[in-house]
Amino acid sequence: MKKIARPRTALAAGIAKVLKRLHYPLDVMLLCVRWYVAYSLSLRDLEEMMAARAIGVDHSTAHRWVIKLVPLLEKTFRKHKRPVGKSWRMDETYSTPSQRSPPAWG
């Protein structure tokens, strides 16, 4: 039987602790932080984009969210990050001059 992916209802302990003191809806905060980080928007542009969606967010408020949430989200995501590969091979171009043999010119 196939497992159905369900959205996570419980947050990590560190994130839930910080979000408890913040008074905006969680989806608004995470949306602002995601757009700011992913698309390198200015905070004033982010403020205008949220105003276009009838959500009043000041640029300084969004900046406080970024400062508080980005380190916590990064820490949480790094725990679940998979290693890139199990093995690696060093390319022969990465050798020091003393390790190389002189070229064999005829």
Residue bearing tokens 């022969």: 92
**How many other CB atoms are there within 10 angstroms of residue 59's CB atom?**
16
Which residues have a Cβ under 8 Å from the Cβ of 51 and sit 6 or more positions away?
A: 57
Q: What is the DSSP letter of 99?
A: T
Q: Residue-wise pLDDT tens for the chain (106 aa)?
A: 555 656 656 666 767 777 777 788 888 988 999 999 999 899 999 999 999 999 999 999 999 999 988 888 888 888 877 777 776 666 666 566 666 666 666 5
Is the separation of the CB atoms in 61 and 25 below 8 Å? Answer: no
What residue spans define the domains of the chain? Answer: 22-76
Q: Whole-structure pTM over 0.75, yes or no? A: no
Which residues have a Cβ under 8 Å from the Cβ of 62 and sit 6 or more positions away?
A: 32, 33, 36, 43, 46, 47, 50
CA 49-55-59 angle, to 5 degrees, is 60
Chain center to CA of 61: 19
Collapsed DSSP state (helix, strand, coil) of residue 72? helix
